[in-house]
Amino acid sequence: MRNKFNLIVTFCILGLSVSTQSRAQTYEIGAFVGGANYIGDVGDTQFIAPAGPTFGGIAKWNRSTR
């Protein structure tokens, strides 16, 4: 338990001591993978049984630079 506490404190101190420069992005893209399952009135009773894999993507344009 003591080692876990020391590890958490160490990571918190390291996280607070690291400085990064923040900049806004004009264009952003991303992708995601997961499972999909309809959970509704007529859906199956096995809620944690995805029907199949799901793939997707997203693209975003930030018009303003602020």
Instruction: Look up residue 43 and give its DSSP letter.
Output: S
Of residues 47 and 15, which shows the higher confidence score? 15
Distance from C-alpha of 13 to C-alpha of 34, rounded to nearest angstrom: 34
Residue 3 lies in a domain: no
DSSP E strands in 1-66: the ranges are: 27-36, 52-61
pTM for the structure as a whole? 0.39
Residue 46 lies in a domain: no
**Identity of the residue numbered 65:** T
pLDDT tens-place string over residues 24-64: 678 889 999 887 776 666 655 666 666 778 889 999 888 87
As for how many domains the chain has, the answer is: 1
Residue 56 lies in a domain: yes
Residue 47 lies in a domain: no
Supply φ then ψ for residue 7, to 5 degrees.
-65, -45
At residue 14, the pLDDT reads: 83
Residue 11 pLDDT more than 90? no
Alpha-carbon distances of 52 from 34, 41, 60, rounded to whole Å: 9, 20, 27
The residue range of the domain holding 66 is: 21-38+52-66
